[in-house]
Chain A
Amino acid sequence: QVHLQESGPGLVRPSETLSLTCAVSGGSTRDRNYHWGWIRQPPGKGLEWIGSIYYSGTTYYNPSVRSRVSISSDTSKNQFSLKLTSVTAADAAVYYCARHILRSGGHTWLDPWGQGTLVTVPS
């Protein structure tokens, strides 16, 4: 059974870089059947997909954050990471990592999800 766990600072100051890591257990980030993604949820609001990475290193990013985001993978540690630069108050959210099924023909879903980690951006 695959399990994902996010980790990283809970507070990031404006203009600084948000860095989070997702540790994967019970599965492998080298599995060619899956991508690995990040999703965020501002307090009291809905879900926003940030981006995903394939075992090969191919990445897909939401255009809304493309200029500021980078997702990378460390297969030796079986984890993947998110970096978001120049953060503002609008980036305050619970950040989730998830296994992302993304296949040709329009098949896409996210399962399972990590428990999430809250990132606060003080004003």
Chain B
Amino acid sequence: QSVLTQPPSVSAAPGQKVTISCSGSSSNIGNNYVSWYQQLPGTAPKLLIYDNDKRPSGIPDRFSGSKSGTSATLGITGLQTGDEADYYCGTWDGSLSAFGGGTKLTVL
């Protein structure tokens, strides 16, 4: 059971926009920064967003992050078939690094 709650799956058509939510509490998201990871099939996770809304070098601006209170959101615009992947949120929770359960994105 993950301390961060994500929807198991989301879907949208190519070119559209999708958002993925990550819900937590005051012990994690409420008082810490959130990161997001993309895991393409059969590969290792890759950092997409850190410090709630910052993109590492090389990550396109189609990916965005935000945080409000004890929840965070990953946004992806201009969906491409290559965006089909599992997406995980992460943050610090007291004394451990926590992840959400993951959300599978399907680009229809």
Closest B residue by C-beta to A47: B99
CB of B97 within 8 A of CB of A52, answer: yes
CB of A101 within 8 A of CB of B50, answer: yes
Docked Cα-Cα span, A109 to B35, in Å, equals: 6
B80-93 Cβ-contact flags toward A at 8 Å (1 or 0): 00000000101110
- Size bracket of the A interface: 20 to 34
Could you tell me the distance in whole angstroms from the C-beta of A57 to the nearest C-beta in chain B? 17
Assess whether B24 is interfacial by the CB under 8 Å rule: no
CB of B88 within 8 A of CB of A111, answer: no
Of A62, A100, A109, A113, the residue contacting B51 (CB under 8 A) is A109
CB of B88 within 8 A of CB of A60, answer: no
| With A115-B44, A116-B44 as contacts: A109 and B90 at CB distance below 8 Å | yes
- Size bracket of the B interface: 20 to 34
Contacting A at CB under 8 A, from B45-87, are: 45-47, 50-51, 56
CB of B44 within 8 A of CB of A37, answer: no
Closest A residue by C-beta to B95: A60
Docked Cα-Cα span, A39 to B99, in Å, equals: 10
Could you tell me the distance in whole angstroms from the C-beta of A77 to the nearest C-beta in chain B? 22
Closest A residue by C-beta to B6: A46
Q: Which residues of A contact B (CB under 8 A)?
A: 37, 39, 46-49, 52, 60-63, 96, 100-102, 105-116
Task: Please give me the 6 A-B residue pairs with the lowest Cβ-Cβ distance, nearest first.
Answer: A106-B32, A111-B47, A109-B35, A49-B97, A109-B50, A113-B44
